[in-house]
Amino acid sequence: MSQNVENKIHQTIIIGSGPAGYTAAIYAARANMEPIIITGMQPGGQLTTTTEVENFPGYPNGITGPEMMVELQQQAERFGTQVIFDMVTQVEFDKSGQHIHKVRTANGQEFSTRSIIISTGASAKYLGLEDETKYAGSGVSACATCDGFFYRGKDVAVIGGGDTAAEEATYLAKLCRKVYLLVRKEEMRASKVMQERVFKTPNLELMYNHELIGLEGDGVVEKAIIYNNQTEQQSQLQVDGVFIAIGHKPNTDLFVGMLDMDANGYLLTRDKTTHTNVPGVFACGDVQDHIYRQAVTAAGSGCMAALDAERYVAELEAALSPAL
């Protein structure tokens, strides 16, 4: 791979192009930081896998996830953001004390920068069934807050036994006629308080020792094929949708051993800011947030990261420039 190494020291490089990354880009660009955003493997991030987004303020008629990401990209570009469709393969935080970080990409580009904004997001975990791909967006979802509305008055199944599954199932129970919660063990892993909420929800049926093994339907999900791992019996559930809620994985493999993370791999930020433990490196969006995980909260933290980076770079440059 030929290397394309620039000499320029950029003010900020944004890694990841979901709502957090693009919002950081809009703010950084408007602050004359001339940001570069490196999109990653899934330009636009998780929102490009959802259909209609109806809960982002400012879109009274809703907008599709992919359209919203195109608009965010255009808004970032309008103020001079450079969008690079490439994958970051390596980062090297300042070692020499010169306050320069390096970012390297799959296409052999290398950038030097004063600050890095990490907005690499998180990926929902899936079971790995072929039918999940076949019915993606047609009855299979990994986000009740995003897609639950489309199943109003219908029957759905939620897969998982942790806090995410409990939360998704109780949320959906408010919208749907009936929710089946399939837990593969004979107990839930979710916290006691969340389990209590599940037990108390009348239209939520808890099915322990059950696994999803397939889906059927004419273009859209009509049936879930399930397996009882105690009785070893296979059966069917008549459902219009299936929500996979077996957890998320933050996209932080690049930073293992380099940045502070919690036990699940989410980046840790300092106090109420986006500062990581490395000076000049900031984190925003789902990569540092396993609680809210919404486009609008990600966008808000992207704004915070750009403001933090701008302040950091301004103070650094003032300190580095020779006294007048």
Among 62, 80, 162, 265, binds ligand NDP (CB under 6 A): 162
Q: Does position 197 bind ligand NDP by CB under 6 A?
A: no
Q: Does position 159 bind ligand NDP by CB under 6 A?
A: yes
Q: Does position 102 bind ligand NDP by CB under 6 A?
A: no
Given 131, 147, 240, 289, which residue is catalytic?
Answer: 147
Tabulate helix, strand, coil % of the chain (nearest 5): 30, 30, 40
Beta pairing, strands 248-250 & 281-283: unpaired
- Which residue's CB is nearer to ligand NDP, number 94 or number 211? 211
- Which residue's CB is nearer to ligand NDP, number 78 or number 174? 174
Q: How far is CA 49 from the centre of its chain?
A: 11
The Cα 169–Cα 204 span in angstroms is: 7
Among 78, 152, 185, 311, binds ligand NDP (CB under 6 A): 185
- Which residue's CB is nearer to ligand NDP, number 264 or number 277? 264
- The first and second tokens of residue 150, run together, are 């489309």
Indicate if 303 belongs to the active site: no
Coil, strand or helix at 218:
coil
The secondary structure of residue 266, as a DSSP letter, is P
Which residue type occupies 10?
H
The Cα 260–Cα 167 span in angstroms is: 27
Among 193, 256, 291, 318, binds ligand NDP (CB under 6 A): 291
Q: Are 65 and 51 in contact (CB under 8 A)?
A: yes
- Enumerate the β-bridge partners of residue 41: none
Among 189, 278, 294, 296, binds ligand NDP (CB under 6 A): 189
Q: Does position 127 bind ligand NDP by CB under 6 A?
A: yes
**Number of Cβ within a 10 Å radius of residue 78:** 11
Which one of the spans 113-121, 138-146, 158-166, 295-303 is the region binding ligand NDP (CB under 6 A)?
158-166
CB of 124 to ligand NDP, least distance (A): 9
Phi, psi of 69 (to 5 degrees): -70, -35
- Which residue's CB is nearer to ligand NDP, number 42 or number 164? 164
Given 131, 143, 289, 308, which residue is catalytic?
Answer: 143
How would you label 190-228 residue by residue, b for 16+ Cβ within 10 Å and e otherwise? beeebbebbeebeebebebebebebbebeeebebbbbbe
Among 70, 290, 296, 316, binds ligand NDP (CB under 6 A): 290
| Residue numbers 243-282 binding ligand NDP by CB under 6 A | 246-248, 264
Given 131, 146, 163, 176, which residue is catalytic?
Answer: 146
Which one of the spans 59-67, 83-91, 162-170, 224-232 is the region binding ligand NDP (CB under 6 A)?
162-170
What number of chain residues touch ligand NDP (CB under 6 A)?
A: 19
Q: Which residue is nearest to ligand NDP (CB)?
A: 162
Coil, strand or helix at 83:
strand
The Cα 221–Cα 241 span in angstroms is: 6
* Site residues for ligand NDP per CB under 6 A: 127, 159-165, 167, 184-185, 189, 211, 246-248, 264, 290-291
- Mind telling me the catalytic residues? 143, 146-147
